[in-house]
Chains A and B, each alone.
Chain A
Amino acid sequence: DAGITQSPRHKVTETGTPVTLRCHQTENHRYMYWYRQDPGHGLRLIHYSYGVKDTDKGEVSDGYSVSRSKTEDFLLTLESATSSQTSVYFCAISESSKTEAFFGQGTRLTVV
């Protein structure tokens, strides 16, 4: 399995609090992605990174920010969590634009 770890795996938080999810890789892959998965919507891209400090928005980026200060870590922050951000969050990595992506096991986030 590709060396990709998401933490935490489960989290319950209150509306209005900030939350940070971490994706850590040991593969030295250039690309990293954050997706959310909700019933009926498949996987939707939140933010992605194509290098250290190089990030861009995906299709559902409102309310989320990211940072990548090191190759191995890609952080997703919910600035002020809302119930609509209750979801399963997946991180993925990819070595290049010509290769497949490898996924973490997911983080189940519940905002109450």
Chain B
Amino acid sequence: SQQGEEDPQALSIQEGENATMNCSYKTSINNLQWYRQNSGRGLVHLILIRSNEREKHSGRLRVTLDTSKKSSSLLITASRAADTASYFCANRETSGSRLTFGEGTQLTVNP
């Protein structure tokens, strides 16, 4: 399988805590992207980090990328109950066409 792996598969935290999700991939990439999916809905793009970038921020989101380890992490700070969702990473291969997703992390934020 060319799918990446995400870790943990499930994460349960209290409101106000930080949530960290990790992602590994297998190929050389052009960029790596994180998405969010609420139950029963389509995926929504959160943030994209290019292969020559090491860290990127967007609001309460912080993404890091380590191309030497073929891994990325997503940090959500000061989590809210509304952050409860599944989070997926996706890598865009260097060739540019294929967009491959990981298996996702189910985040539950308890009020």
Contact = CB atoms under 8 A, between A and B. Distances in A.
Q: Do A and B bind each other?
A: yes
Interface stretch (A12-20, A63-71, A103-111): A103-111
Interface string B24-36: 0000001101010
| Interface majority SS (helix, strand, loop, mixed), chain B | strand
A35 B37 CA distance: 14
Interface residues of B, number: 27
Contacts, number: 69
Interface SS of A by simple majority: strand
B48 A99 contact: yes
Interface in B77-101: 88, 90, 92, 96-101
Interface of A: 31, 33, 35, 40-45, 48, 50, 56, 58-59, 90, 92, 94, 96-106
